Structure 1
């Protein structure tokens, strides 16, 4: 996996359940530093490997350096030292300041114009490179458009070769190429191996987080270049399975493995599960609204803060991987502007097997996603976690989540990004939380949303590729 494993519940559950089924499992991830880090996850071995400290592969013959946060000198020579203030009359002392103001504005204007021209030239060069390389190389153009993808090969390739696995489970789009190339090498060396690609999202519909027009096309080309080399594909929803089969002309529909919580909590050797309300410092009678998971503008997290002035007794808690990230600081700054910062709490993730119990201390689970392609096509992790925590839901009208919430009766739906409609849905749920909690008592609602049920699907995929290996669960 192209992360540090600890914040990724899906890969942790995969590794633990596969090991429980009898497979010998090594879970590879990215080390935070330049030393290998290892630990046990149940019977699975976790190994975090260092990424290259520097990576000098060049795209299009040049390397761009982002000057974020760097101090820049204004065009022109260093200003001369001013005479001592005591030696100047008051009017004379003010004159250089008055003269300097328009000069500074002119220089700032020149600098801004220059930056715009430079950005435009770079953007034009990026677009030209995209067209030229795609036309000449086809999907192989990813190697030129984003050579940084090779750093994952540098980190993981030799480790996979040394393990000589019988099956490689490649999580998400970056690891697909790593797994496919390792499969080629092992087979060429006479070692039979199978490749499973686990597609977590629909890459062409991804909202790129990189300010570079080459980045997303490069990832799409990379995925398309290797997708058909997988012996089996699994993914996170039925709709995404259909889209992947169509996009890559896959011979079989991918198997669906939902990222649902464990019904049975693994043995944690008496480890105490934190209490959500204690973490926030609020009592049992305070209405507590929770958002859990990765936070970003396209996930609509800000609407929960915008609503607080209209819901005077409620508190909001974000359970996130990085409570001190730049985006979370922006949210807190907005809460301070609105005078509600004392009712906003940010707490870090807990262990994935503790999440359901931890979240159960809230009154409402909120999923405020905006309308982006990948938000529309699956039930996300927090939906399942909220459900097993038996939380009433307030969700935006992204399709699959909204349709499911309406059909089960476990919450209310509002128009994405519409504060007035969010407040309407929230008021309805807070007025009768018990009715929405009772939706989880209906037979079959939660049973199908467990990792144990999903692990059986994954076992079947493994066993079909490697007959005679550890059997599927009964």
Structure 2
């Protein structure tokens, strides 16, 4: 098959910085190895365009203006009666406050000028007028100062309130009614993503656009529509990483309804749908009436990252300087209140031989709150925060721990998901202690690789840890080579590659992994996809949910 003398091209869009997202990195590397001319487009931490090689794939971190997001942040909506006098923007607040400081400082100069005029021998009447004029000016500056201060305080309250709840009741009502205008108002990043990612998608002229998460789905569909107007057919694959309708975010209550509405609007225009969890696939069929059940590609580790019991090196235990007698609990990944890690910290006083190590990207936010909690409970010496390690090193690094923990709270999306870290625990041959959310609890009971405790039950968590630590070898015995092979990324990726071929009608020529220099941005090209017979997708991998 020929395709304008080029391999068929796929552009993957993801709304993060790419680093640390093992799923999209693996998708890009394996698509490139399968012969696709692959570009993984993510956000740029510098705001400027960046480009580098990832195996045979190319990562493009798009330049972002973040115009809408910054505008929204600096123009919080007004709240309450005090909001009526608040300045309308952060810039206006700062400008007016700056001018007031200049007025107050300038009064010193005015007083000095008046003193010199008086010393020069002004007539009594002129001196009186000068003193009255200065007194009026001083009074005016003081009154204006009170007014500026009142408006600034009102704005500051609005600004602080917006950080806790970015939307107001009216905006939430508009969001519930649907419509992109309201969505873009309360989630301005969607507009910014369209500007930055949509531009790169147009420039690259792909044959397939792979949209990771619903926030990229609209960007992908609109890019495909623009391409079709120029005579190019572009297939859209939607990769649902989360159950959007159940993604509860207390700090931003409009997120779930907006993203769910975006998904509902654009998913009918996707040529193929893939998700990371079987339960998510079922929910997508239920919510959107999909005629074809989404493909399921679980975010399991690559077989090359699997390790021997205990790991090949000192790993996390060696990093912390702990001996073999210590019960080491490990948790790599996102740390937010709904992840439930406070349960593990609160259990540490009951587990004097146990240590809890978090592998995180930042020590601020909720991680700092957990650190403070450990201090209050006098278990600071048992609580450790470490930096992320590269994904290809993760399983071996955590293998020296005793137990992998997953303490999810009970919200809809977490009831249905198996987290990436759970698959990493399997690759590291770690027994687990998990909360009894539906999917993780059922899988753990079926595999027999750990114990399950009731969500939020501190005593139950401590009991589960003691039970596993006392008979760790029995729980670890389920990790046979055959079982690990069934839980590898290599067993998942054929489903994704088949989907690409099925929706595009293109079959690239596979190539081996090789390092390559970063390619330059290709010139525009025409494409004329040809049909190809594609084998049926693989059946679900045994031993997985």
Q: Provide the TM-score with structure 1 as the length reference.
A: 0.82
Alignment RMSD (CA, Å): 3.3
The change in CA–CA distance for 1:342 and 1:369 in structure 2 (over 3 A counts) is same
Matched, 1:129 2:171: yes
Runs of 4+ in 1 over 6 A off after TM superposition: 56-59, 122-125, 471-474
Match of 1:188 among 225, 229, 233: 229
Q: Which has the larger radius of gyration?
A: 2
Match of 1:231 among 271, 285, 292: 271
Quote the offset at 1:127 in angstroms: 2.2
CA distance in 2 between counterparts of 1:66 and 1:406 reads 54
Tell me which residue corresponds to 2:523.
none
Tell me which residue corresponds to 2:149.
none
Tell me which residue corresponds to 2:469.
430
Quote the offset at 1:49 in angstroms: 1.3
Tell me which residue corresponds to 2:373.
334
Contact 1:55/1:148 (<8 A) preserved: yes
Tell me which residue corresponds to 1:28.
41
Tell me which residue corresponds to 1:14.
27
Q: What SS is found at the alignment partner of 1:369?
A: coil
Q: Provide the TM-score with structure 2 as the length reference.
A: 0.72
Q: What SS is found at the alignment partner of 1:405?
A: helix
Q: What SS is found at the alignment partner of 1:353?
A: helix
What is the number of equivalent residue pairs in this alignment?
426
Tell me which residue corresponds to 1:40.
53
Contact 1:139/1:225 (<8 A) preserved: no
Which consecutive residues of structure 1, in runs of 5 or more, have no partner in the other structure?
A: 79-110, 267-271
CA distance in 1 between counterparts of 2:167 and 2:52 reads 45
Quote the offset at 1:187 in angstroms: 0.7
Quote the offset at 1:57 in angstroms: 8.8
Matched, 1:165 2:171: no
The change in CA–CA distance for 1:125 and 1:456 in structure 2 (over 3 A counts) is closer
Instruction: State which drifts further: 380-389 or 445-454.
Output: 445-454
Instruction: State which drifts further: 18-27 or 463-472.
Output: 463-472
Which consecutive residues of structure 2, in runs of 5 or more, have no partner in the other structure?
A: 1-13, 78-87, 98-103, 105-152, 307-311, 510-533, 539-545
Match of 1:250 among 281, 290, 296: 290
CA deviation digits over 1:25-64, x for unaligned, max 9? 01001011132222211111111112215337978xx644
Contact 2:171/2:182 (<8 A) preserved: no
CA distance in 1 between counterparts of 2:376 and 2:161 reads 33
Quote the offset at 1:314 in angstroms: 1.3
Contact 1:395/1:401 (<8 A) preserved: yes
CA distance in 2 between counterparts of 1:132 and 1:338 reads 45
The change in CA–CA distance for 1:123 and 1:375 in structure 2 (over 3 A counts) is closer
CA distance in 1 between counterparts of 2:48 and 2:179 reads 37
Report 1:1-400 matches (<5 A): 1-55=14-68, 63-64=76-77, 126-132=168-174, 135=177, 138=179, 141-211=182-252, 213-265=253-305, 275-322=315-362, 324-400=363-439
Match of 1:440 among 479, 495, 510: 479
CA distance in 1 between counterparts of 2:174 and 2:328 reads 54
Quote the offset at 1:357 in angstroms: 0.7
CA deviation digits over 1:336-356, x for unaligned, max 9? 112211221111111111111
CA deviation digits over 1:122-177, x for unaligned, max 9? 98983223435654x64664244434310001111111111000000000011111
Match of 1:462 among 482, 500, 513: 500
